[in-house]
Structure 1
Amino acid sequence: MDNALYVGLSRQMVLRREMDIISNNIANLDTTGFKVESLMQKTDPQAPAMTLGGPKPVKFVTADGVARDFGQGALRRTDGEFDLAIEGQGFFRVRADDGERFTRDGRFRTDEIGRLTTQSGAPVLDDGGGEITIDPEKGPVGVSADGVVTQNGERIGKIGVVTFETLGALEKVGDNLYQNTSNLFPQPATEARLRQGMLEGSNVQAILEITRMIEVSRAYEQTAKMMDSEADLSRRSVERLGRVQ
């Protein structure tokens, strides 16, 4: 296999990965708080497979990580007592079995002991890192724009909303949660505002993702045709060389 086929194969591998990411974006079009992702690419110079006057080095295509757009998704009204949306930059703090996690998914509920939790049961934390407990006997719950939780006029906590100096510190870990993979400490998101009875939708734009999917599909087909042409050219060259000898 010559250099052109190696380069084409590397391009196809990246395009398949990009198609997987686009498909995941479309699948999460209606996922609360989901953030659209895209594949970053780079050239990877390597020694050529053959050195008969070809370019040096040969530049292969490789994936260079996944970029995530943390832009605001549209807010929709649900009137759910424990549905919360963040307007602006920030993340809810929740506690997992192995540490703290962060999310934009505000579909909260209460568990059997009254703790405010995510849909998967992870406790939602207040601004001091403690749990928030709701007493159903005290009446409806109110949440102010700055996160203060009250019942019957009594303050029972303040929902912790934090952000990071560099959002690249966050890594997706499933269940619409992120973990901090750096040594950066979360800071209070003072500019963020909470909206009770609302949820933030995905920031995926369906038309753009479908357009990207078509472009990737066409690029894959064009690369396959180029590789077929190179393979056919090599085959015919070998056949002609055999006849000359």
Structure 2
Amino acid sequence: MDNALFVGLSRQLTLRRELDIVANNIANADTVGFKVESLMVETEPMRPAMTSPGPRPVKFVLDRSVGRDFGQGALRTTGATFDLAIEGEGFFRIGGAEGELFTRDGRFTMDPQGRLTTQGGLPVLDDGGGEIVIDPERGRVTIAADGTISQGEERVGRVGVVDFQELAVLEKQGDNFYRNTSNAEPQPAAEAKVRQGSLETSNVNPILQITRMMEVTRAYESMAKMMDSAAELSRRSVERMGKVQMQ
């Protein structure tokens, strides 16, 4: 019986983790550039908790990682000069305090020094890794599909859009940023197009996520009932053995 309880507990732990992930997806359904996540689980054979008749080895359920769907979200037109969206694969380059960060969230602005920055004040980097500085006195800013920034006839810079051969190297850092956890160098996203005056919406499908939340909740409840039944059966077995010995 102990084995059934331990296996059930391992499954409950993964279901709790999955419920948190699904809830986070729903909470970020309206977050610009957010990518839907899912829990990756696997079974791992282990020795039984006690020597008794039954399957060997016992397979426990383990939480291995979080998968992320980097599929394109819909583009929403805002008309704002510094709202940018990437059509296709790729990420904007952002200058972080501890190295470069990457994001699909193109809600940019211009700080008092004329730098193109994120809403949190981090600099948006150009294709060479430098900061982008704009002079507001030079007139209207236009950003072409290849990321080239112009004011009138003058080229100011080019928004850096890069991609990775393996997206698994990107680790979530919060605030819609990702960090490169490997030595792999990002490459220019040649096929990507920058859309000025637009933002990429989340690729979360709220209906699917709410449905999944209901499924996970029911699975958790079913597992709890199974564990209660196993514990009750074990208790009754002990009581009967005690009565037999007393006789």
Please confirm whether the aligned pair reaches a TM-score higher than 0.5, indicating the same fold.
yes
Letter in 1 for 2:28: N
Residue by residue, what CA displacement relative to the aligned partner does 1:66-115 show, whole Å, maximum 9, x if unpaired? 00000000100000000000000000001011101100000000111000
**Sequence identity of aligned pairs in percent?**
68
Distance 2:98 2:231 in 1: 52
Q: Structure 1 CA distance, aligned partners of 2:187 and 2:130? A: 16
Measured against aligned partners, the alpha-carbon deviations of 1:14-67 in whole angstroms (never above 9, x if no partner) come to 000000000000000110000000000011211111111221111111101000
Task: Give the equivalent residue in structure 2 for 1:226.
Answer: 226
Distance 1:150 1:66 in 2: 40
For 2:227 and 2:5, how far apart are their aligned partners in 1? 6
Structure 1 partner of 2:131: 131
How far apart are the structure 1 equivalents of 2:3 and 2:106? 51
2:240 and 2:99 mapped to 1: Cα distance? Answer: 67
Amino acid at match of 2:39: L
1:187 CA drift (Å): 0.3
- Which position in structure 2 is the counterpart of 1:203? 203
State the one-letter code of the partner of 1:161. Answer: V
1:12 Cα offset (Å): 0.4
CA distance, structure 2, for counterparts of residue 53 and residue 238 of structure 1: 17
Gaps of 5+ in 2: none
Partner residue, 2:72: 72
1:140 aligns with 2:149: no
Q: Write the distance in 2 (CA, Å) between the matches of 1:133 and 1:99.
A: 19
Q: Which residue of 1 aligns with 2:89?
A: 89
Instruction: Give the equivalent residue in structure 1 for 2:62.
Output: 62
Instruction: Give me the whole-angstrom Cα distance separating, in 1, the residues matched to 2:69 and 2:185.
Output: 21
Whole-angstrom distance in 2 between the partners of 1:82 and 1:23: 31
TM-score (normalised: structure 1):
0.99
Q: Which letter does structure 1 place at the counterpart of 2:113?
A: I
Residue 129 of structure 2 aligns to a residue whose secondary structure is: coil
How many angstroms apart in 2 are the aligned matches of 1:28 and 1:34? 7
TM-score (norm: length of structure 2): 0.98
In the alignment, the residues of structure 2 paired with residue 81 and residue 153 of structure 1 have an alpha-carbon distance, to the nearest angstrom, of 17
1:62 partner SS: strand
Partner Cα distance (2:104, 2:52) in 1: 55
Letter in 2 for 1:234: S
User: Which amino acid letter does the alignment assign opposite residue 151 of structure 1?
Assistant: Q
- Alpha-carbon distance in structure 2 between the residues aligned to 1:183 and 1:47: 38
Letter aligned with residue 93 of structure 1: R
Q: Which residue pairs with 1:172 in the alignment?
A: 172
Deviation at 1:145, TM superposition (A): 0.4
String of CA shifts for 1:168-219, please: whole Å, max 9, x gaps. 0100101111000011110000000011000000000000100100000000
Q: Aligned letter for 2:108?
A: F
Following the alignment from structure 1 to structure 2, what is the Cα–Cα distance between the partners of residues 127 and 102? 13
Task: In structure 1, list runs of 5 or more residues that go unmatched.
Answer: none
| Distance in 1, Cα, partners of 2:154 & 2:231 | 76
Looking at structure 1, the residues matched to 168 and 153 of structure 2 have their Cα atoms a distance apart, in angstroms, of: 39
> Which residue in the other structure is 2:194 paired with?
194
2:101 & 2:239 partners in 1: Cα distance? 62
- The CA RMSD over aligned residues, in Å, is 0.7
Counterpart CA distance in 1 for 2:231 and 2:131 is 63
Tell me which stretches of 4 or more aligned residues in structure 1 moved more than 3 Å: none
Counterpart Cα distance in 2 of 1:52 and 1:234: 13
Partner letter of residue 58 of structure 2?
Answer: V
| Alignment map for 1:5-154 (pairs within 5 Å) | 5-154=5-154
